C-alpha cells in the first residue's frame, strides 16, 4: 500500500456517500416545503461552520492530498456554494480532480515535505503524517459533521448511508 491507497479511494467513497446524503437532505427540504437554506445554513453549534462549509472543507481535505502529495494540478474552488445543487457540483468537481490522481505518483512520497499554509501560520509535515494524521481525519470530521447536521434537521439517514460501499457484498 502507498499513500494513494489509504487516501484517494477513501475520499472518493466518502464524497460519493456525502453526495447521496445531501440529495436526501434536498428531498427532505422539498417534501416539507422548507427553503434549502434551512439545511444548508444549519450548524451543530453556533461557533461551528454551516453545512455548506462542511462540504467545502471535506472536498478541500481530499483534493489537497491529490495536489500536495500526488502532484495533481489544483483546480481553484471559490467556496460560493449555497444550494444542494451547488454542493453536488462541488463534490463532482472534487471527484474529477481525484480521478486524475495516479497511484504511481504517490510512490516513494511518504517522506516528502508538505507545507500547509493558513492565515495565521504554516504547518510543516512529511507526506505520510499529512495524509494519515491530518487530511484523512480532517476529511472524516467534516463528512461526519455534514451528516450530523442533516440528521439534526430531521433528514432520515442511517449508519449505512455514511458507510455505503464500505462493506463487502453479502453472501
pLDDT for 156:
96
Q: What is the DSSP letter of 41?
A: T
Query: What's residue 1's pLDDT?
Result: 82
Predicted pLDDT at 171: 67
CATH, range 8-163: 1.20.120.450
What's 83's DSSP letter?
S
pLDDT for position 153: 97
The helix/strand/coil state of 4 is: coil
For residue 114, what are the contacts with CB-CB under 8 A and spacing of at least 6?
68, 69, 124, 125, 126, 127, 130
* pLDDT digit string, tens, across residues 9-51: 999 999 999 999 999 999 999 999 999 999 999 999 999 999 9
**Average pLDDT value for the chain:** 95
pLDDT of residue 170: 66
Q: What percent of the chain has pLDDT over 90?
A: 93
What are the residue ranges spanned by the domains of the chain? Answer: 8-163
**Ranges of the chain with pLDDT below 70:** 165-171
pLDDT of residue 164: 84
**What is the C-alpha to C-alpha distance for residues 108 and 126, in angstroms, rounded to an integer?**
12
Q: Which of 71, 73, 72, 89 is nearest to 81 (CA)?
A: 89
DSSP state at residue 117:
E
| pLDDT one-digit tens code per residue, 6-18 | 999 999 999 999 9
Amino acid at each position: 500500500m502507498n499513500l494513494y491507497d489509504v487516501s484517494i479511494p477513501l475520499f472518493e467513497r466518502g464524497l460519493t456517500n456525502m453526495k447521496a446524503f445531501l440529495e436526501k437532505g434536498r428531498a427532505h427540504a422539498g417534501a416539507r416545503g422548507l427553503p434549502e437554506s434551512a439545511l444548508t445554513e444549519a450548524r451543530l453549534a453556533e461557533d461551528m461552520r454551516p453545512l455548506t462549509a462542511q462540504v467545502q472543507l471535506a472536498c478541500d481535505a481530499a483534493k489537497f492530498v491529490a495536489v500536495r502529495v500526488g502532484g495533481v494540478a489544483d483546480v481553484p474552488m471559490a467556496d460560493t456554494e449555497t444550494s444542494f445543487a451547488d454542493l453536488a457540483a462541488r463534490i463532482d468537481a472534487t471527484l474529477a480532480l481525484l480521478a486524475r490522481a495516479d497511484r504511481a505518483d504517490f510512490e516513494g512520497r511518504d517522506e516528502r515535505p508538505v507545507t500547509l499554509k493558513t492565515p495565521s501560520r504554516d504547518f510543516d509535515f512529511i507526506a505520510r503524517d499529512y495524509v494519515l494524521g491530518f487530511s484523512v481525519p480532517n476529511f472524516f470530521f467534516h463528512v461526519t459533521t455534514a451528516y450530523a447536521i442533516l440528521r439534526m434537521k430531521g433528514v432520515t439517514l442511517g449508519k449505512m448511508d455514511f458507510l455505503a460501499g464500505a462493506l463487502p457484498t453479502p453472501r
